[in-house]
Chain A
Amino acid sequence: MNQIKYLFHYKKYGMLRYLSHLETMKMIDRALRRTGIELKQTEGFHQRTKISFAQALPTGIIDLAGLFVVTTFEEIDVSRLKEANKLCPRGCEFVKAEKVDEKFKLSRFVDGYEFKLIFLKEPEDASFDIEKKGEIWIARIFRSFNSSIPKNGEYGQFLTIRSQAITGGAN
């Protein structure tokens, strides 16, 4: 059977930001299983889908730039993805699934991430790139792949959002 490698882009928001990385992985695995799409499994007796996730997020952060790679035995078109989204709990959404090369590696694909820190009062750290929007202040920061992620409240921020993945690297 033909194997196809897919790069999934997903969002995780609302109450689901309180899932740990492991819980997120499990939640996504089970959502994919419910679709009935035939997915490559890991070796060994206990059933697990072979999924590679990009960099883990600490609990509490909203993720608009989640990425993972799976191998399927069938095409996933837009309508299939739409169906899959109906099988996700509220707060989890597959944005797109793109075919990638067999040798595709997330660690080479992602250069880093942009984070948005939401403040309810003007932040003290002046080194941020800050924008005021109504009653809140939004600071943007960039972190390279696999470097430390701003923890919730670390800078006195009210909320942390992983807003986008910066890609275009060596793949």
Chain B
Amino acid sequence: MRIALMTDVHGNREALSACLEHAERHRVDRYVFLGDYVGYGADPGWVADAVMARVDAGAVAVLGNHDAGVTNPDERMNDVAAEAIAWTRTQLSPAQVDFLSTLPLVVEDGSRLYVHASAYASAAWPYVTDLYSASKSLMATTAQVTFCGHTHVPNLFHMSMTGKFAGFEPVDRVEMPLTRQRRWLAVIGAVGQPRDRNPAACYAVLDDERDVLTYFRVPYDIEAAARKIRAAGLPPILAQRLFQGF
């Protein structure tokens, strides 16, 4: 089965549409969404509906910190993020709010684990950015492969049979074999607001028969997404950073 993993859409309709279309072309059988559907972008309602429709059809979706922030304001959020969440609240229907607020924090799927931030202290939303934070997540679960998002930077951490940790910057469109001898922590880059200086949307496809994971960079209409952010009166930085991918 081919499973598309998408995370950190952040209300970016153009980016999500481009990724969904790309995934369909690549004959994906199933979708897993790793949280942060809203916040920052100008189309939170459309994105929530798109995810809801796929969850109704059997997709998995977990909770992100911005989704949780819709109903439970998070004091640690920076001003821009808090402003965007406040605006987002005014855009969502009760059904959409209800969908977001009842998502699970973690989903286990056989030997795989899906979580937004980290398998370690999931509800505190720690960032998996380096070997130390990755090792904490890898040690907090027995799952062979953990998929997460949250950092907006794609990365592939792994732990060998002898207990050595290492990280790897995945290369676009190169099939990565997830060997069974090793435990893996795949940080999927963001669909809606990449921060690794590559403005193209990022998502990944897992082939669970061949145990290979492939990261894809998908170009999308950034101009349209940015224009809508400005038109909505959201902080202009949220539009600018889409072009830089940072």
Answer yes or no: are A and B bound together in one complex.
Answer: no
User: Chain A: residues with CB nearer than 8 A to chain B?
Assistant: none
